[in-house]
Structure 1
Amino acid sequence: RARAGRLAAELEAREEERASAQRHSEALARQLREREGWMGAEAQRAGESLRACQEKVSSYEEQIRAHEEALTGQRRDSAAGAERFAEAQRQIAGLQRQLRDSEEELQRQLRESEEERRRLHGSARESLAQERQSGKELLDRNRILELEIEELQATVRMQRDAEQIRRSYAAMEQREAKALRDTEEMRRSFGAIDQPRRLEGAAPFAVPPLAMGGRRSSTGLDAPGPRARAELAAP
């Protein structure tokens, strides 16, 4: 019974561990969905930033074309236009460098965002796989514990049945011994009553040795037979 109690307590603890593992798996799944939503929003913002940069590039290109047209007109008009054209070229080069730097930064941010998303996704998958394996192991241990409890309960029932049978046999033996003692006392009483009569020649009043279906015991006394024992044992 103590072992059954321990097994039941261990089974309950395993069930609690399985429930805790299930809750942890659900929390990891929610966290993964939140991270994926966040990464999607980051990617959307990065795309919007890239589109804004592209719009800036288009604006810069329009400005460049405007500067080039202005410089072309100024080159025709005066020698000072050459210097202004060179300055515009320097500005264009600076704008192009800024554009390349912005594009490289955006590409780097996109790569880092994608790597972080993949890392989180892989970590969540691994955690979920571990939790599933732990849940499966818990279920297997629970089934083993249930089988052990059933076997222990069957053993306890068998022991209880055997104890009841043993007690029944003991009670039966006690009743049979009492019946034998009662029969012996009755025979002794009959012998005490019959002895004076035999001495006086009153043989017809003697009790036949086998009148009750008895048999001669090893002590010389008539032991009762099965029928006599049944009648004496009857309430």
Structure 2
Amino acid sequence: RSTPCRGEPVVDINRRFGVGPADRVLAVSALSFDLSVYDIFGVLAAGGCVVFPSPSRVQDPVHWSELVERHGVTLWNSVPALLQAWVESRGRAAVFAGSTLRVALLSGDWIPVTLPDAVRAQHPGLEVVSLGGATEASIWSVCYPIGGVPADWTRIPYGKPLTNQTLHVYDAMMRPCPVWTTGEIYIGGAGVARGYWADEERTAERFVVHPVTGERLYRTG
């Protein structure tokens, strides 16, 4: 699906984590995947650099380690599975000597509860962040900085809305759902796209206006 995205969430992430000219991100997310929007437009807009793996080794965690060390990569942005593959390729007890990595942004799937502490063991001081959202809301709408993970946790919290964004859980009549009941997630605020490119019918189905509040929302489904 083609969705013209807005820039506000990208700017918000840069502000939250102090992304600037000294930063470098390793582009492990495919350019056809929406996470790459941040690599290109977020980091470059802040004056940083994007480090691309060799096309023949783009899925090689050993190559990723070489690039992180060679170029002083400071930012990681991927689905959790890619970070997990990198951690496991080095051995869980292997500290990355002289690591420059300072922030890891994880989104697009469940985050294993053991992953944050495992990657921090290799990169002391690393800030691990859970992000979530939809392409139709400019990639990310929620954020949860992951501190120490208690032993009894079974999952990482989804997070709270980013700046100038809203999340709602509504029933079929678009009424707020009580806690512990099932509903549908709607995203509102600064990240909501204008719609799908050249698809007015689908745009009308998924981008709606709340009948009471008048807020324009993306219906996640």
Place the TM-score, normalised by the shorter chain, in its bin. Answer: under 0.3
Structure 1-normalised TM-score?
A: 0.18
TM superposition score normalised by structure 2: 0.19
Higher relative contact order (CA 8 A, sep 6+): 1
Higher strand share: 2
Larger Rg computed on CA atoms: 1
